[in-house]
Amino acid sequence: MSAKPHDNDLRTPLKIARGLGSAKSGTHHFMVQRVTAIALIPLVIWAVWLALTLVHADFAQAHALLQQPFNAFVMILFVVAAFWHAQLGIQVVIEDYVHTHWLALTAQVLVRFTCILAGFACVLAVARIALGQS
């Protein structure tokens, strides 16, 4: 266990915590995690259907499948909901199990960056597939 933020502080833990209050944003996290979870139920079923359709598909077939407006649209909904839900979930896992402050902070930022980057890359990729020439 490495040093925690207040290790060399002469104040008692209560004195440090008093007056800080809660972060006042926990409910929002809770709600968004559940709303994305509800959205992901039908989206995941659709994604499994799509994945099964893609078994043995060559490039042209896979490209044509995702080029259909409905599939492109739902895929964008799916990746946004999935990466959002993933970020919220991993955030809690890090908060619960990584007790080294700088490591937890670094991990949180990296996970956020990765999810946002991958999410936007997916949206851009689907847009290119859907709007481009086949």
Partner 1 sequence: MSTSARPLSPHLQVYRWQIQMVTSILHRITGVALAVGTLLLAALLISLATGPQSYAVVRDFCASWIGNILLLGWTWSLAFHLLNGIRHLLQDAVMGYAINQFVRNSWLSVFGSLLLTALIWACVFMRGGAA
Nearer to partner 1 by Cβ, of 105 and 117: the residue is 117
Question: Looking at 24, 56, 133, 134, which residue binds partner 1 (CB under 8 A)?
Answer: 56
Selected from 34, 102, 106, 109, the binder of partner 1 by CB under 8 A is: 34
> In angstroms, rounded to a whole number, what is the distance separating the alpha carbons of residues 1 and 134?
56
Closest CA to 30 of 88, 81, 79: 88
Segment lying near partner 1 (by CB under 8 A), choices 20-28, 88-96, 101-109: 88-96
Tokens 């959002």 locate to 84
User: Vertex 1, ends 102 and 17: CA angle to 5°?
Assistant: 65
**Residue 115 neighbours by CB under 8 Å, 6+ apart:** 83, 84, 86, 87
Residues that bind partner 1 (CB under 8 A): 1, 3-4, 6-7, 9, 13, 34, 37-38, 40-41, 44, 48, 52, 55-56, 59, 62-63, 66, 75, 79, 82-83, 86, 89-90, 93, 96, 99, 114-115, 118, 121-122, 124-126, 128-129, 132
